[in-house]
Amino acid sequence: MTADSPTALQLHPVNAQVYSVHTPDRGHVGNLKLIGGVWKFKAIGYDADGSVVPGGGPLTDKHNRAFAIPSAVLVSAGLVGGSSRSP
């Protein structure tokens, strides 16, 4: 998956300080939260019963990755585009 592909991640606003992060098939993989002036990705997973697993899921290795702004392009590149550094 690359940031410019149809499979790039999508951001959905929750409030002024939180965006939910979803795959194109609407899978919820985490949240982007404004913490101390920095946007941080908080990975989310779900267990077999559907209970939330904070820090889990398919992007668990990207938990706490920081971003300068809430941009779907930047978040997609930083989380699934093969980048090992924060944008």
How confident is the model at residue 85, as a pLDDT? 43
How confident is the model at residue 82, as a pLDDT? 53
How confident is the model at residue 58, as a pLDDT? 94
Report if residue 49 sits inside a domain: yes
How far apart are alpha carbons 3 and 7 in whole angstroms? 8
* pTM assigned to the model: 0.83
Q: Which of these, 54, 52, 56, 86, lies nearest to 71 by C-alpha position? A: 86
Average pLDDT, 10 consecutive residues per value, the chain (87 residues): 61 97 94 97 96 95 96 94 50
Report if residue 65 sits inside a domain: yes
Question: How far separated are the first and last CA of the chain, in Å rounded?
Answer: 17
Report if residue 85 sits inside a domain: no
Report if residue 4 sits inside a domain: no
For residue 18 the two structure tokens come to: 């939180």
- Quote the number of domains for the chain: 1
How confident is the model at residue 87, as a pLDDT? 43
How far apart are alpha carbons 7 and 1 in whole angstroms? 6
Report if residue 2 sits inside a domain: no
Report if residue 87 sits inside a domain: no
Report if residue 5 sits inside a domain: no
Report if residue 14 sits inside a domain: yes
For residue 37, what are the domain limits?
10-80
3-state secondary structure of 10: strand
